[in-house]
Structure 1
């Protein structure tokens, strides 16, 4: 994967996941991808170097860092739970998609079964789409648990 293709490819893959929000809470130079308000991917360019930060299971993170020289401990993140992907010949689109998938599922698997904080605000007025989205997320999460049982 080249420096020019890493971010566009990561963005395209991340946006295929349900309930993904693309935002810029840390400024325009940091593309943040969230599910239910929780970050699963951040892309940025630091000193001319394209970076993609992803959540990762600690054991898998260490293994991937040993196998792929373009996977490093998370830049400015908890090194145990985050990795940074940098451009390199050892990073394919399929590998990047697998890493993003793992990251998204890491976040979704830890979501509470209660409504998110956005849904319990006093001024929140649910509409049909928000209700459907919430219950779809609950069902998706439940099906993930049952598939591992």
Structure 2
């Protein structure tokens, strides 16, 4: 998966908003004003910061050399995924879905239930 495909997939998540609070060229993706992904470039290669369950974060780092502790993030809860082509697209999509789901589940009850009513649980909580 490359930078552009990752960006399109991130924007496909329900009610995702993109902004650049950290500077031009560093898009941040939020749902209900909560960050679930940060996309960047390093020497022409895309990088994606994603929230992750702490145990899964460690497991992914063991499995994939292109998954490292989250750059400028809480390293217990965030991974940086280097989009160098070594991780299958489906696995990166699963990591994005997991990050998005963690954020949605952590929303205030009224916000979460509003999303669930509007989009259905299947669209929000992909496994």
Q: Which range, TM-score by smaller chain?
A: 0.7 to 0.9
| Paired position in structure 1 for 2:89 | 93
Contact 1:113-1:138 at 8 Å conserved across structures: no
Q: What secondary structure is seen at the aligned counterpart in 2 of 1:86?
A: strand
Deviations 1:26-50 (A, max 9, x none): 1112110000000000011235443
Name structure 1 gaps, 5 residues minimum. 116-133
SS in 2 for 1:84: strand
Higher gyration radius (CA): 1
- Corresponding residue of 1:137: 115
Question: Is 2:22 the partner of 1:16?
Answer: no
RMSD: 2.4
Larger deviation, residues 47-56 vs 17-26:
47-56
For structure 2, the 5+ residue unaligned runs are none
Partner residue, 1:128: none
CA offsets per residue over residues 6-43 of structure 1, 9 Å max, x none? x1121111111111001111111211000000000001
Q: Does 1:108 align with 2:104?
A: yes
- The whole-number CA distance in structure 2 between the counterparts of 1:30 and 1:93 is 21
Count of residue pairs brought into register by the alignment: 123
Q: Which one of the candidate residues 57, 60, 68 is aligned to 1:61?
A: 57
Mapped to 2, the partners of 1:44 and 1:98 lie a distance apart of 19
1:53 and 1:23 mapped to 2: Cα distance?
15
Q: Is the 8 A contact 1:40 1:55 kept in 2?
A: yes
Q: TM-score, normalised by structure 2?
A: 0.85
Task: Give the Cα–Cα distance (whole angstroms) in 1 for the partners of residues 55 and 64 of structure 2.
Answer: 14
1:142–1:11: structure 2 CA closer, same or farther, 3 Å change rule?
Answer: closer
- In the alignment, what sits opposite 1:42? 38
Q: Is the CA contact 1:75–1:84 (under 8 Å) kept in the aligned structure 2? A: yes
- Pair 1:47–1:90, CA change in 2 (3 A): closer
